[in-house]
Amino acid sequence: MSLTSVALIVVLILLAAYAIALYNALVRLKHGVSKAWSNIDVMLKQRHEELPKLVETCKQYMQHERGTLEAVIAARSAVSSAREKGDLGALGKAETGLRMGLGQLFALAENYPELKANESFQHLQQRISGLEHGIADRRELYNEAVNLNNVRIEQFPDLIIARLFAFKAAVLLEFSEGEKADVDLKSLFG
């Protein structure tokens, strides 16, 4: 075997090892996006389960605020539907509607001192507020994972492997401008 043949074999082995390393890095990024979405999904499910309890507690006190309560339930349903379909665009719109509805609900609670003093209401308000903060944090982590994935599959030489194995760009989880401002639910009770 000639020196040229050995050199060619070594170069081919190094190229194969490099391609495998690129492929594995892209797989890790793709699964990082999935993991980040799963973390958001867990928080959305938890909030989804808490909202009917909150609305039921409010119904006992807020007989004249049916429109607000129904808007929260409708928004909850829209979030759930978009989440189940994996439609991030629809999820962003539904999240905006839900957070606006919750903001209105908590603001209206100011007019009902008995409701504000209700232990169940206070617990649910704190729980949902905590979930809102958790969702915001996980949304940032998800979007960072998406950004890392999307940049890598567009960079050379990664794009060669990405196209060869049909790696796809992930979609950022975006909300309306009003949604980007964090809602401080506690201040609504201040």
> Any idea what the CATH number is for the domain that residue 100 is in?
1.20.1440.20
User: Which residue do the tokens 């189940």 mark?
Assistant: 84
Do the domain assignments include residue 5? no
Which residues fall within 8 angstroms of residue 74, CB to CB, at 6 or more apart? Answer: 97
pLDDT tens, the chain, 190 aa long: 789 999 999 999 999 999 999 999 999 999 999 999 999 999 999 998 888 888 888 887 777 777 888 888 899 999 999 888 888 888 888 888 888 888 888 888 888 888 878 888 888 888 988 998 999 899 999 999 999 999 999 999 999 999 999 999 998 887 765 544 444 544 444 4
Could you give the number of structural domains in the chain?
A: 1
Residues in the chain: 190
Enclosing H/E stretch for 152: helix 119-154
3-state helix, strand, coil in the chain (%, to 5): 85, 0, 15
Q: What is the pTM of this model?
A: 0.74
Provide the 3-class DSSP secondary structure of residue 1. Answer: coil
Residue ranges making up the domain that contains 43: 31-189
**Do the Cβ atoms of 22 and 158 come closer than 8 Å?**
yes
Query: What is residue 167's DSSP assignment?
Result: -
Residue 3 included in any domain: no
